[in-house]
Protein backbone atom coordinates (compact mmCIF):
# COMPACT_ATOMS: atom_id res chain seq x y z
CA UNK A 1 0.00 0.00 0.00
CA UNK A 2 1.27 3.45 -0.92
CA UNK A 3 2.28 5.71 1.94
CA UNK A 4 -0.45 8.15 2.94
CA UNK A 5 1.06 11.36 4.26
CA UNK A 6 -0.43 14.56 5.61
CA UNK A 7 0.51 16.16 2.29
CA UNK A 8 -1.51 13.69 0.21
CA UNK A 9 -4.52 14.10 2.49
CA UNK A 10 -4.16 17.89 2.16
CA UNK A 11 -4.00 17.66 -1.65
CA UNK A 12 -7.12 15.49 -1.78
CA UNK A 13 -8.96 17.95 0.49
CA UNK A 14 -7.99 20.86 -1.78
CA UNK A 15 -9.15 19.01 -4.89
CA UNK A 16 -12.46 17.77 -3.49
CA UNK A 17 -13.42 19.95 -0.48
CA UNK A 18 -14.20 16.73 1.41
CA UNK A 19 -13.45 16.41 5.13
CA UNK A 20 -10.02 15.39 6.38
CA UNK A 21 -11.16 12.02 7.76
CA UNK A 22 -13.10 11.26 4.59
CA UNK A 23 -10.01 12.05 2.50
CA UNK A 24 -7.86 9.86 4.71
CA UNK A 25 -10.32 6.98 4.38
CA UNK A 26 -10.65 7.46 0.61
CA UNK A 27 -6.88 7.20 0.17
CA UNK A 28 -6.70 4.17 2.46
CA UNK A 29 -9.50 2.42 0.57
CA UNK A 30 -7.73 3.03 -2.75
CA UNK A 31 -4.10 2.27 -1.81
CA UNK A 32 -3.12 5.92 -2.00
CA UNK A 33 -4.29 6.35 -5.63
CA UNK A 34 -5.35 10.02 -5.86
CA UNK A 35 -7.70 9.72 -8.87
CA UNK A 36 -9.34 6.57 -7.51
CA UNK A 37 -9.81 8.32 -4.15
CA UNK A 38 -11.54 11.23 -5.90
CA UNK A 39 -13.94 8.81 -7.62
CA UNK A 40 -14.54 7.04 -4.28
CA UNK A 41 -15.46 10.34 -2.62
CA UNK A 42 -17.76 11.25 -5.49
CA UNK A 43 -19.48 7.87 -5.28
CA UNK A 44 -20.06 8.48 -1.58
CA UNK A 45 -21.44 11.94 -2.31
CA UNK A 46 -18.60 13.56 -0.36
CA UNK A 47 -16.85 15.46 -3.13
CA UNK A 48 -17.34 18.39 -5.47
CA UNK A 49 -14.44 17.14 -7.59
CA UNK A 50 -16.30 17.07 -10.89
CA UNK A 51 -17.06 20.78 -10.67
CA UNK A 52 -13.51 21.60 -9.66
CA UNK A 53 -11.72 19.44 -12.21
CA UNK A 54 -11.40 22.39 -14.60
CA UNK A 55 -9.45 24.59 -12.23
CA UNK A 56 -6.31 26.02 -13.75
CA UNK A 57 -3.10 24.36 -12.61
CA UNK A 58 -0.38 26.29 -14.47
CA UNK A 59 0.39 29.77 -15.75
CA UNK A 60 0.87 31.38 -19.14
CA UNK A 61 -1.62 32.44 -21.80
CA UNK A 62 -4.24 31.12 -24.17
CA UNK A 63 -4.16 32.89 -27.54
CA UNK A 64 -7.09 33.15 -29.97
CA UNK A 65 -7.12 34.45 -33.53
CA UNK A 66 -9.52 34.38 -36.50
CA UNK A 67 -8.88 35.04 -40.17
CA UNK A 68 -11.82 34.71 -42.53
CA UNK A 69 -13.64 31.43 -41.92
CA UNK A 70 -10.78 29.87 -39.96
CA UNK A 71 -9.77 30.31 -36.33
CA UNK A 72 -7.06 28.96 -34.04
CA UNK A 73 -6.51 28.61 -30.29
CA UNK A 74 -3.14 27.90 -28.67
CA UNK A 75 -1.89 27.48 -25.12
CA UNK A 76 1.62 28.45 -24.07
CA UNK A 77 2.58 27.71 -20.48
CA UNK A 78 5.01 29.40 -18.12
CA UNK A 79 6.05 28.90 -14.52
CA UNK A 80 4.46 32.05 -13.09
CA UNK A 81 1.66 34.46 -13.89
CA UNK A 82 4.25 37.24 -13.99
CA UNK A 83 5.39 36.01 -17.42
CA UNK A 84 1.87 36.40 -18.83
CA UNK A 85 2.29 40.15 -18.35
CA UNK A 86 5.59 40.20 -20.26
CA UNK A 87 5.18 41.88 -23.67
CA UNK A 88 7.74 39.58 -25.33
CA UNK A 89 5.81 36.54 -24.14
CA UNK A 90 2.50 38.06 -25.24
CA UNK A 91 3.86 38.79 -28.72
CA UNK A 92 5.11 35.22 -28.97
CA UNK A 93 1.72 33.73 -28.09
CA UNK A 94 -0.02 36.09 -30.50
CA UNK A 95 2.30 35.12 -33.38
CA UNK A 96 2.05 31.42 -32.56
CA UNK A 97 -1.75 31.60 -32.72
CA UNK A 98 -1.53 33.13 -36.20
CA UNK A 99 0.91 30.44 -37.34
CA UNK A 100 -1.44 27.74 -36.02
CA UNK A 101 -3.96 28.81 -38.66
CA UNK A 102 -1.66 27.13 -41.17
CA UNK A 103 -0.30 24.20 -39.15
CA UNK A 104 -3.58 23.11 -37.56
CA UNK A 105 -3.78 20.88 -34.49
CA UNK A 106 -0.26 19.44 -34.83
CA UNK A 107 1.88 20.98 -32.08
CA UNK A 108 5.09 19.47 -33.48
CA UNK A 109 4.40 21.03 -36.87
CA UNK A 110 3.68 24.34 -35.16
CA UNK A 111 6.95 24.18 -33.20
CA UNK A 112 8.83 23.53 -36.45
CA UNK A 113 7.10 26.36 -38.37
CA UNK A 114 9.10 29.40 -39.46
CA UNK A 115 8.83 32.21 -36.93
CA UNK A 116 8.65 35.87 -38.09
CA UNK A 117 12.15 37.34 -38.10
CA UNK A 118 14.00 34.04 -38.51
CA UNK A 119 14.33 30.60 -37.01
CA UNK A 120 11.49 28.35 -35.95
CA UNK A 121 8.81 28.68 -33.29
CA UNK A 122 10.87 26.33 -31.11
CA UNK A 123 13.97 28.46 -31.65
CA UNK A 124 12.08 31.57 -30.54
CA UNK A 125 10.67 29.74 -27.53
CA UNK A 126 14.16 28.67 -26.49
CA UNK A 127 15.36 32.25 -26.90
CA UNK A 128 12.48 33.52 -24.76
CA UNK A 129 13.32 31.05 -22.02
CA UNK A 130 16.88 32.33 -21.93
CA UNK A 131 15.82 35.99 -22.08
CA UNK A 132 12.93 35.90 -19.62
CA UNK A 133 14.65 33.44 -17.33
CA UNK A 134 11.71 31.11 -16.84
CA UNK A 135 10.75 27.79 -18.38
CA UNK A 136 7.98 27.93 -21.00
CA UNK A 137 6.29 25.34 -23.20
CA UNK A 138 4.05 25.22 -26.25
CA UNK A 139 1.36 22.86 -24.98
CA UNK A 140 -1.44 22.56 -27.56
CA UNK A 141 -3.19 24.07 -30.56
CA UNK A 142 -6.53 23.59 -32.30
CA UNK A 143 -8.13 24.98 -35.44
CA UNK A 144 -11.79 25.36 -36.43
CA UNK A 145 -13.22 26.40 -39.80
CA UNK A 146 -16.44 26.61 -41.77
CA UNK A 147 -17.10 26.58 -45.51
CA UNK A 148 -19.68 29.34 -45.16
CA UNK A 149 -20.60 31.30 -42.07
CA UNK A 150 -18.45 32.50 -39.19
CA UNK A 151 -15.88 31.48 -36.63
CA UNK A 152 -16.55 33.60 -33.56
CA UNK A 153 -13.86 34.07 -30.88
CA UNK A 154 -14.15 34.93 -27.20
CA UNK A 155 -11.47 35.36 -24.54
CA UNK A 156 -12.37 35.26 -20.86
CA UNK A 157 -10.15 36.97 -18.28
CA UNK A 158 -8.48 38.81 -21.14
CA UNK A 159 -5.02 40.20 -20.40
CA UNK A 160 -4.68 42.00 -23.73
CA UNK A 161 -6.79 41.60 -26.90
CA UNK A 162 -6.82 37.96 -28.03
CA UNK A 163 -4.89 36.66 -25.00
CA UNK A 164 -6.23 35.45 -21.66
CA UNK A 165 -7.07 32.55 -19.37
CA UNK A 166 -9.87 30.91 -21.35
CA UNK A 167 -10.12 30.95 -25.14
CA UNK A 168 -13.20 29.85 -27.10
CA UNK A 169 -14.05 29.47 -30.77
CA UNK A 170 -17.58 28.77 -32.03
CA UNK A 171 -18.27 27.58 -35.59
CA UNK A 172 -21.54 28.60 -37.23
CA UNK A 173 -22.38 27.30 -40.72
CA UNK A 174 -24.85 29.66 -42.40
CA UNK A 175 -25.54 32.13 -45.17
CA UNK A 176 -27.03 34.57 -42.65
CA UNK A 177 -25.65 38.09 -42.24
CA UNK A 178 -22.26 38.32 -40.52
CA UNK A 179 -23.52 40.62 -37.74
CA UNK A 180 -26.25 38.09 -36.88
CA UNK A 181 -23.74 35.25 -36.71
CA UNK A 182 -21.26 37.32 -34.70
CA UNK A 183 -23.88 38.20 -32.08
CA UNK A 184 -25.10 34.61 -31.82
CA UNK A 185 -21.57 33.24 -31.79
CA UNK A 186 -20.47 35.53 -28.99
CA UNK A 187 -23.49 34.60 -26.88
CA UNK A 188 -22.73 30.89 -27.32
CA UNK A 189 -18.98 31.37 -26.83
CA UNK A 190 -19.55 33.12 -23.51
CA UNK A 191 -21.80 30.23 -22.50
CA UNK A 192 -19.09 27.72 -23.48
CA UNK A 193 -16.52 29.57 -21.39
CA UNK A 194 -18.79 29.43 -18.34
CA UNK A 195 -20.50 26.04 -18.75
CA UNK A 196 -17.55 23.97 -20.05
CA UNK A 197 -19.44 21.54 -22.31
CA UNK A 198 -17.54 18.32 -23.03
CA UNK A 199 -18.95 17.71 -26.53
CA UNK A 200 -21.29 19.21 -29.10
CA UNK A 201 -23.82 16.36 -28.89
CA UNK A 202 -24.44 13.68 -26.27
CA UNK A 203 -23.42 11.01 -28.80
CA UNK A 204 -20.00 12.64 -29.09
CA UNK A 205 -19.14 12.24 -25.40
CA UNK A 206 -16.10 10.08 -24.72
CA UNK A 207 -17.06 6.44 -24.09
CA UNK A 208 -14.51 6.04 -21.28
CA UNK A 209 -15.93 9.11 -19.55
CA UNK A 210 -19.45 7.67 -19.77
CA UNK A 211 -18.27 4.38 -18.25
CA UNK A 212 -16.54 6.22 -15.43
CA UNK A 213 -19.72 8.14 -14.67
CA UNK A 214 -21.73 4.91 -14.88
CA UNK A 215 -19.46 3.27 -12.30
CA UNK A 216 -19.79 6.23 -9.92
CA UNK A 217 -23.57 6.37 -10.38
CA UNK A 218 -23.82 2.62 -9.72
CA UNK A 219 -21.92 2.94 -6.44
CA UNK A 220 -24.17 5.78 -5.33
CA UNK A 221 -27.33 3.91 -6.31
CA UNK A 222 -26.29 0.69 -4.55
CA UNK A 223 -25.88 2.57 -1.29
CA UNK A 224 -29.57 3.52 -1.45
CA UNK A 225 -30.46 -0.09 -0.55
CA UNK A 226 -33.13 -0.22 -3.27
CA UNK A 227 -33.86 -3.31 -5.42
CA UNK A 228 -31.58 -3.99 -8.42
CA UNK A 229 -34.20 -2.99 -10.99
CA UNK A 230 -34.63 0.37 -9.25
CA UNK A 231 -30.86 0.78 -8.96
CA UNK A 232 -30.50 0.27 -12.72
CA UNK A 233 -33.17 2.90 -13.41
CA UNK A 234 -31.40 5.31 -11.06
CA UNK A 235 -28.12 4.76 -12.89
CA UNK A 236 -29.65 5.28 -16.32
CA UNK A 237 -31.43 8.39 -15.09
CA UNK A 238 -28.18 9.77 -13.71
CA UNK A 239 -26.36 9.08 -16.98
CA UNK A 240 -29.12 10.73 -19.01
CA UNK A 241 -28.78 13.82 -16.84
CA UNK A 242 -24.98 13.78 -17.22
CA UNK A 243 -25.23 13.53 -21.02
CA UNK A 244 -27.73 16.37 -21.17
CA UNK A 245 -25.67 18.64 -18.93
CA UNK A 246 -22.38 17.84 -20.69
CA UNK A 247 -23.39 18.31 -24.35
CA UNK A 248 -23.45 21.88 -25.63
CA UNK A 249 -26.63 21.65 -27.71
CA UNK A 250 -28.69 20.35 -24.78
CA UNK A 251 -27.20 22.60 -22.10
CA UNK A 252 -29.37 25.43 -20.79
CA UNK A 253 -28.14 28.88 -21.72
CA UNK A 254 -26.20 30.30 -18.78
CA UNK A 255 -27.72 33.75 -19.27
CA UNK A 256 -31.31 32.62 -18.55
CA UNK A 257 -30.94 29.09 -17.16
CA UNK A 258 -33.91 27.72 -19.11
CA UNK A 259 -33.33 27.80 -22.88
CA UNK A 260 -31.44 24.89 -24.50
CA UNK A 261 -28.63 26.03 -26.77
CA UNK A 262 -30.27 24.18 -29.67
CA UNK A 263 -33.35 26.41 -29.22
CA UNK A 264 -31.17 29.53 -29.06
CA UNK A 265 -29.69 28.62 -32.45
CA UNK A 266 -33.11 27.76 -33.91
CA UNK A 267 -34.57 31.09 -32.77
CA UNK A 268 -31.65 33.01 -34.31
CA UNK A 269 -32.11 31.13 -37.58
CA UNK A 270 -35.83 31.94 -37.63
CA UNK A 271 -35.15 35.63 -37.04
CA UNK A 272 -32.44 35.66 -39.72
CA UNK A 273 -34.62 33.84 -42.23
CA UNK A 274 -31.72 31.48 -42.96
CA UNK A 275 -30.65 28.09 -41.56
CA UNK A 276 -27.87 28.22 -38.95
CA UNK A 277 -25.93 25.16 -37.82
CA UNK A 278 -23.77 25.15 -34.72
CA UNK A 279 -21.01 23.05 -36.28
CA UNK A 280 -18.47 22.91 -33.47
CA UNK A 281 -16.56 24.66 -30.73
CA UNK A 282 -13.15 24.73 -29.05
CA UNK A 283 -12.53 25.67 -25.44
CA UNK A 284 -9.03 25.98 -23.98
CA UNK A 285 -8.65 26.82 -20.30
CA UNK A 286 -5.17 27.69 -19.13
CA UNK A 287 -3.55 24.82 -17.26
CA UNK A 288 -6.53 22.52 -17.71
CA UNK A 289 -5.52 18.94 -16.93
CA UNK A 290 -2.04 19.90 -15.75
CA UNK A 291 -1.29 19.11 -12.13
CA UNK A 292 0.37 22.07 -10.50
CA UNK A 293 3.23 21.24 -8.18
CA UNK A 294 2.02 21.49 -4.60
CA UNK A 295 4.28 22.52 -1.79
CA UNK A 296 4.67 19.67 0.69
CA UNK A 297 4.17 21.58 3.91
CA UNK A 298 4.34 18.41 5.98
CA UNK A 299 7.77 17.67 4.53
CA UNK A 300 8.89 21.23 5.27
CA UNK A 301 7.84 20.87 8.90
CA UNK A 302 9.59 17.51 9.12
CA UNK A 303 12.75 19.00 7.64
CA UNK A 304 12.66 21.84 10.12
CA UNK A 305 12.32 19.28 12.91
CA UNK A 306 15.39 17.46 11.67
CA UNK A 307 13.70 14.37 10.22
CA UNK A 308 14.02 13.10 6.64
CA UNK A 309 10.36 13.03 5.68
CA UNK A 310 6.86 13.54 6.91
CA UNK A 311 5.45 10.77 9.04
CA UNK A 312 2.57 8.81 7.45
CA UNK A 313 -0.90 9.60 8.68
CA UNK A 314 -1.77 6.93 11.24
Name all domains of the chain by residue range, CATH numbers in brackets: 1-53+291-314 (1.10.8.10), 59-200+260-285 (3.30.479.20)
Q: How many whole angstroms separate alpha carbon 90 and alpha carbon 159?
A: 9
pLDDT of residue 234: 85
Burial class (CB in 10 A: 0-12, 13-18, 19+), 101: middle
Could you report the per-residue pLDDT of 85-138, keeping only the tens digit for each?
999 999 999 999 999 999 999 999 999 999 999 999 999 998 988 888 888 899
Structure confidence by residue, pLDDT tens digits, 267-298: 999 999 999 999 999 999 998 877 655 444 45
* 70-78/136-145 β-pairing: antiparallel
158 pLDDT higher than 70: yes
75 has a pLDDT exceeding 80: yes
- Determine the pLDDT at residue 19: 75
SS (HEC) of 88-138: HHHHHHHHHHHHHHHHCCCHHHHHHCECCCCCEHHHHHHHHHHHHCCCEEE
Q: What pLDDT score was predicted for residue 131? A: 85
The pLDDT tens digits for 196-235 are 999 999 999 999 888 888 888 888 777 777 778 887 888 8
Amino acid sequence: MAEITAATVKELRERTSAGMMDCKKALAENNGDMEAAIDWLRAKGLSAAAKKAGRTASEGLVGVTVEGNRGAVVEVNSETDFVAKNETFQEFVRNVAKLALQTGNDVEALAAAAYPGGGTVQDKLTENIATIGENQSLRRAAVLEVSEGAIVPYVHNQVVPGLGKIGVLVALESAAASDTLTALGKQIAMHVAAAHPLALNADDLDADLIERERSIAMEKAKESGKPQNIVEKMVEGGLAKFRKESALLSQLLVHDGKTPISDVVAAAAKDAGSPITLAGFIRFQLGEGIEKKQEDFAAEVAAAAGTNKAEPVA
